[in-house]
Structure formats: structure tokens, C-alpha cells
Amino acid sequence: MTVSVSQNLSLRAQQSVSKKNPTADGMSLASKNKYDCSHNPSGIVNLGVAENHLMKNELRDI
């Protein structure tokens, strides 16, 4: 017997799950089409993620 998701989620959760998430959609699209100057020059450069290169070593060691 297959139980549908709606039977396991509250109405509020169902409404949240059913909404489109443009941020997640954009991140997914960007990750599937990454820019590379040699192999994919028409790809996407993701500017939506902050990286702290000054703390890279310290964060890696944690």
C-alpha cells in the first residue's frame, strides 16, 4: 500500500512544499551548467554563494 505525502504532512507543510523556490531553482541550474573558460565558456558563474578565502585554512581545520 502506497501512502501519499499529503497523508503524512500537515496542511501547512503541504503548502510550503508545493511553493516554487526560485533561489533553489537558480542554484540547481547554475550547478548543472558551471562556467569554465575552456570547456564551457557560455556556462553560469554562480555569484550567489559567499566564500571567505582568507579563512579557508582555518575553516578546513575545524
Residue 52: predicted pLDDT: 77
d(CA 9, CA 21): 19
The DSSP symbol for 2 reads: P
Long-range CB pairs of 41-50, under 8 A, 24+ apart, other chains included? 48/23
* pLDDT band with cut points at 50, 70 and 90 for residue 1: very low
C-alpha cell at 12: 501547512
Predicted confidence (pLDDT) per residue in 2-58, tens digit: 446 667 889 898 888 888 888 888 889 889 999 999 999 999 988 877 777 888 888
Residue 2: predicted pLDDT: 47
Residue 6: predicted pLDDT: 65
- Nearest Cα neighbor of 30 from 16, 15, 13, 43 is 43
Length of the chain equals 62
